[in-house]
Amino acid sequence: MDNQKRDVREAAFVFVKKLLKLKRDQRLLIYVDQGSDLYVAKAIQDCAQEIGNLVELFELKSTLRVYDMVRALVNKIEKGSFDIICELSEQYFYPTLVWKRTLQLGSQIYSLGGVNIDGFIRCVGKVDHDLMFHFGMALRRILKKTKTIQIITKRGTDVKFDMSNNNLVFRFISRLKRKQGPYIFHPSGMLTLATKATFMGGQLAFQGIPETIEGTVVIDGYLGPPQEIGLLDIPIIMKIKKGNVIDISGCPLKSATLNEWFKTQNKEIQHFCIGFNPGAKLTGEIMEAERVFGYLSIGIGKFPFHTDGIIKSPSILFNNEIIEQDGSFVQGELSILARNLIQDNENARRVSQSVRFLSMV
């Protein structure tokens, strides 16, 4: 067995046994599309079958429109009596009826998006998921006490917003108008009795009060969709007013592409996410790019016109206190946990390299 086959097999066992917590004779559905890494899908399928599970691999037709894919998936899920569903498609379906029906039927769902084999090994097989989740929960506890947030970078990002508002009239009017309010999700990566749906570990999503989000965002890492943008050599610059993007500039070609893609669509800020998966790298896959340690992503627009942009090495202030500086976590508890996570990942990488060396001798 070569090194990559061994590593992907180990990552698949981590995913199936530790993260999905599959029990013998449970039913697993894996759905893929043309952007999926089928080698990853097959590794997960083989692992699940090896421990006694019933597994179906469902491939979405590339000729279908997104809404037709949704119908096909919902039909498959409703007829299958699946215990757990694994999303390996490059196209996400969490804002659609696919995830809603999955949860209504009592199933759980775990999304790895279009992660490729290398990312699967690094971000799933080679990280300490318990420690990573612990880091996410510590960050969430700090966020829950936060009233104001500021995000700045050396490349020009400077955006501020509020996380809470004690004005009862403001809160009443927001509810009356059914406006989206602030929220903080649990960190991704772990299926529990309370969390029936999640994404690959190493990210915490949150949103401030939309009307208070103001400033400039310089997206200098990655943006997608649309697929034509992807990795960025020249940043895309966005001006934000009252929670909406009012101007897109920067890289002439890619900013024009994004403006054309959005056209008449609303460009409201949907969420911010902080990444903390020590195995993640800035690649051509948004699932992994959003989890690069210390990077921040911003989500804009509603499905199917929703895009995520990656901001590299930000400084983040909670209640005017620096929590993260130039991509490094400096707050007491987070700083210690971050060092442990990075060191643990570095040790795992060294062990893996040693095994490869010995296998060549």
pLDDT of the chain along its 361 residues, tens only?
A: 588 889 999 999 999 999 999 999 999 999 999 999 999 999 999 999 999 999 999 999 989 999 999 999 999 999 989 999 999 999 999 999 999 999 999 999 999 999 999 999 999 999 999 999 999 999 999 999 999 999 999 999 999 999 986 544 444 445 555 566 789 999 999 998 888 999 999 999 999 999 999 999 999 999 999 989 999 999 999 999 999 999 999 999 999 999 999 998 999 999 999 999 999 999 888 999 999 999 999 999 998 899 999 999 999 999 999 999 999 999 999 999 999 999 988 876 654 554 443 344 4
Same-domain check for residues 185 and 108:
no
Contact 121, 277 (CB under 8 A): no
The answer to whether position 343 is within a domain reads no
Position 192 scores a pLDDT of 86
Contact 203, 273 (CB under 8 A): yes
Same-domain check for residues 272 and 213:
yes
As a whole number of angstroms, the distance between CA 210 and CA 89 comes to: 30
Place of tokens 């590794």: 43
Task: Identify the domain containing residue 88 by its residue range.
Answer: 3-125
31 bridge partner residues? 58, 87
- Centre a 10 Å sphere on the Cβ of residue 144 and count the other Cβ atoms it contains: 11
Contact 313, 151 (CB under 8 A): no
Position 360 scores a pLDDT of 43
Same-domain check for residues 150 and 173:
yes
25 bridge partner residues? none
Q: How many domains does the chain have?
A: 2
As a whole number of angstroms, the distance between CA 332 and CA 343 comes to: 17
Q: Indicate the angle between helix axes 97-104 and 66-80, nearest 10 degrees.
A: 10
Same-domain check for residues 300 and 219:
yes
As a whole number of angstroms, the distance between CA 235 and CA 218 comes to: 6
As a whole number of angstroms, the distance between CA 360 and CA 3 comes to: 10
The answer to whether position 264 is within a domain reads yes
As a whole number of angstroms, the distance between CA 246 and CA 261 comes to: 15
Domain CATH number, residue 105? 3.40.50.2300
Contact 209, 146 (CB under 8 A): no
The answer to whether position 355 is within a domain reads no
Q: Are strands 197-199 and 203-207 parallel, antiparallel or unpaired?
A: unpaired
The answer to whether position 28 is within a domain reads yes
Same-domain check for residues 21 and 103:
yes
Place of tokens 């989740």: 133
- 270, 297, 110: which is closest to 203 by C-alpha? 297
Position 354 scores a pLDDT of 44
Contact 123, 280 (CB under 8 A): yes
Same-domain check for residues 88 and 12:
yes
How is residue 281 written in tokens? 């790298």
Same-domain check for residues 134 and 117:
no
The answer to whether position 344 is within a domain reads no
The answer to whether position 133 is within a domain reads yes
Q: Are strands 214-219 and 203-207 parallel, antiparallel or unpaired?
A: unpaired
How is residue 120 written in tokens? 């699967």
Burial profile 257-291: b = 16 or more Cβ within 10 angstroms, e = fewer: bbeeebeeeebbbbbbbbbbbbbbeebebbbbbbb
Position 2 scores a pLDDT of 81
Q: Which of 91, 125, 159 is the last residue of a domain?
A: 125
Same-domain check for residues 114 and 136:
no
As a whole number of angstroms, the distance between CA 133 and CA 216 comes to: 31
Same-domain check for residues 167 and 52:
no
The answer to whether position 188 is within a domain reads yes
Same-domain check for residues 72 and 203:
no
324 bridge partner residues? 316, 329
Same-domain check for residues 178 and 313:
yes
As a whole number of angstroms, the distance between CA 88 and CA 275 comes to: 20
As a whole number of angstroms, the distance between CA 47 and CA 100 comes to: 27
Position 193 scores a pLDDT of 82
Single pTM value for the model: 0.90
Q: Which of 125, 147, 171 is the last residue of a domain?
A: 125
Same-domain check for residues 98 and 189:
no
The answer to whether position 360 is within a domain reads no
- 40, 32, 31: which is closest to 10 by C-alpha? 40
Dump strand ranges (E) for the chain. Answer: 27-32, 54-59, 84-87, 108-111, 148-152, 158-162, 183-184, 197-199, 203-207, 214-219, 222-224, 230-231, 236-241, 244-250, 269-275, 296-300, 307-311, 315-318, 321-325, 328-329
- Centre a 10 Å sphere on the Cβ of residue 5 and count the other Cβ atoms it contains: 12
